[in-house]
Amino acid sequence: MGSNPAAPTTDSVNVPTGTSPPVGFSLWQSLNEGEERIELTKDISAMTLALIAAGEGARLRSEGVTVPKGLVPVLGVPLAKRTIATFVQHGITEVKCIVNEESPELELYLRETDFGVPVEIIVKSTRSSMHSLFTLAPLLKSSPFFLATVDAIYHPSDLKSWIDRCHQSENAEGIIALTRFVDDEKPLYATLESDDRISAIGDSAAGSEWITGGLYWFTPNVFDEIPVVEELGLERLRKFQEWLVERGYRLYGHRFGKIVDVDHRADIATAEEFINQWSGVAK
C-alpha cells in the first residue's frame, strides 16, 4: 500500500465554530418550522463532511441552467447551502469542500456564507468525483468522515438514522445510503446480505431493488487503495466503490426512503415536490 498524495494548498473560511445555527439563518428555521426539532446526534465532537461540489453540471447546463450545480435553487435555497445546513443540523462540526476552477461564483458563495461551522475549500478541477475525493484525502486522514455531493435531496430523518448508525458501527469501513427510488440514466445497483453488508455493487448487482444514493461514510483506510486504483486507471467514484467491495472492504448499506438527484432541470420540480410533502415550507 502506498502513501496518500501530498496535500494541495487550501484556504479556510473563518466562521464561528459550533453546531448552533447563526442568527437569521433562514434555512435552519425552515427545516424546523412546523415540526419538532430533530435532536442532534450523540458523540459529535469531531464530525467531518467531505463535500464534492466540483462537478460540471453538464446536463443542467445543456438544459439552460446557467449557474453551477451547487447554486441551483430548490425552493429558493441553493443546493450547496441545503446540503451543508442539513448536515450541520445533525451535528457536523466542519466541512472540507472541493470546487472546480470554472465555478468562481460558487467558491465565492461558500466563502462568504456563514454556515455556523468552519468550511475549508480546495479549488481544483478534477476528472471525476473519485478524483475529487482523492484530492480531499489529505484533509480526511485522522478520523471517519461523511461524504456527499451537492445534488441529493433526502428526508432529514433518514439522514439522522444513517448518521446514528455510522456512529454505532464497530467494524464497518463504509456505510452507503441506498434507495429504491430509481430516476437515473445509470443507477448504481447494490446487493445486500442479511446483515446489510454489500456483497456486490455495479453491473454484478444489476436487478437489485437498491441503488446508491450519493451519501457515504468511510474510514480513512479506504485511501490505502489510491495508488493501485490510479495505476489501474479507474475513473469514477462508482468504480472505486466496486473496487472496495471486490477487495473485501466491509461496506454496508443503509436504507433511505426517497433520494432525489438533481441532474436535470425537471429534477428541480421533483425535488421541490418531495420536500413539500414532508416540509410544507416555501424556502
3-class DSSP assignment, residue 245 = helix
Q: How many separate domains does the chain show?
A: 1
Residue 5 included in any domain: no
Output the pTM of the full model: 0.83
pLDDT level of residue 34 (50, 70, 90 thresholds): very low
Instruction: Round to whole Å and give the CA distance between 104 and 92.
Output: 25
Q: Which three cell numbers stand for residue 228?
A: 493501485
3-class DSSP assignment, residue 18 = coil
Q: What is the largest CA-CA distance in the chain?
A: 52
Residue 7 has what pLDDT? Answer: 38
Residue 79 has what pLDDT? Answer: 97
Instruction: Round to whole Å and give the CA distance between 272 and 97.
Output: 25
Residue 127 included in any domain: yes
Q: Is 61 exposed, middle or buried (0-12, 13-18, 19+ CB in 10 A)?
A: middle
Residue 72 has what pLDDT? Answer: 96
Residue 219 included in any domain: yes
Q: Determine how β-strand 119-123 pairs with β-strand 11-13.
A: antiparallel
Instruction: Round to whole Å and give the CA distance between 130 and 226.
Output: 10
3-class DSSP assignment, residue 5 = coil
Q: Chain centroid to CA 37: how far?
A: 22
Residue 129 included in any domain: yes
Question: Which DSSP state fits 14?
Answer: -
Residue 232 included in any domain: yes
pLDDT level of residue 278 (50, 70, 90 thresholds): confident
- The domain in which residue 154 lies consists of 15-278
Residue 66 included in any domain: yes
Instruction: Round to whole Å and give the CA distance between 141 and 5.
Output: 11
Instruction: Round to whole Å and give the CA distance between 186 and 203.
Output: 10
**CATH number for 186:** 3.90.550.10
Q: What is the DSSP string of 264-283?
A: SHHHHHHHHHHHHHH-----
Does pLDDT of 26 surpass 70? Answer: no
Residue 183 included in any domain: yes
Residue 30 has what pLDDT? Answer: 41
Instruction: Round to whole Å and give the CA distance between 144 and 158.
Output: 20
Quick: pLDDT tens for 79-104.
Answer: 999 999 999 999 999 999 999 999 99
Residue 283 included in any domain: no
Write down the residue that cell numbers 430523518 correspond to.
Answer: 157
- Partnered with residue 123 across adjacent β-strands are 99
Residue 45 has what pLDDT? Answer: 52
